Structures are given as C-alpha cells and as structure tokens.
Amino acid sequence: MDYESHQAKPAAQCLIKAVQTNEDDHPTIATLYRATYGMLLFAVPHKGLVVDDIQKMLAGPDNNPRRALVQQIRSKSDLLTLQLVDFKNLIRDRKVVSFYETGQTRQLEFV
C-alpha cells in the first residue's frame, strides 16, 4: 500500500478496523488486514508536528473547525501516541518503509 502523509492516518485506522472486524459481518474489510503485506509512508508525522504557525493562522474571532484537527496532530499529542502504539501492535511482522525529510521545513507565514 502507498499512502501520502495526509492519508496515512486513515490507512492505519482502516487496518485497525479491519483487524477488529468480524469476518462474518464484513468479509471484505476483515480480509484487508491479511492482504496487507507492508506500507510505504511518505513524510508521515508519526509523533506529531510543531503546529504553532498553523495555530496562528487559524486564530481569529470565528471558531475554525480545523483547530481540533491541528490539536490532534501536534507534537506529543496523546491521541497520536495511543494510535502509534496501536499501529505498532497491529503491524507486527509486516514491512513498513518510511521516507522523511532531513531538513527543517519552513514555517507558514500569514500574508
């Protein structure tokens, strides 16, 4: 399987659902886990992102619905920590290859 970074979280959630699904209820979903041999992950922030610049852009009088999402992907997020543990337990003997940046990404600027 090949997923870009914004799709990696749903991919992991899909595998978790597949392993927990009763084969009698949803055979296609249940067999997805057995059919997955590995994953290629491109720039997936497994342990979160520094989101200060994104939060500044979302600040304002309106209650932006993306604030909750940004909180979920911040560094040291409890949600990401739990999901990473679940994913490691789930993936077991399957192969995972991660490609990531080695340089610092520029921060967002509000213009």
Could you read off the pLDDT of 29-85 as tens digits, one per residue? 888 888 888 888 887 777 788 888 888 888 777 778 888 888 888 888 888 888 888
- Residue 35 domain-assigned? yes
- Residue 106 domain-assigned? no
Range of the domain at 44: 2-99
- Residue 74 domain-assigned? yes
Provide the domain count of the chain. 1
- Residue 111 domain-assigned? no
Tokens 């337990």 map to which residue? 89
- Residue 4: is its pLDDT beyond 70? no
Q: Distance between CA atoms of 61 and 16, rounded to whole angstroms?
A: 37
74's CB contacts (< 8 A; 6+ apart) are 48, 49, 50, 51
- Residue 28 domain-assigned? yes
Contact between residue 84 and residue 47 where contact means Cβ atoms under 8 Å apart:
yes
Q: What is the CA radius of gyration of the chain?
A: 17
Q: Distance between CA atoms of 68 and 37, rounded to whole angstroms?
A: 33
- Residue 105 domain-assigned? no
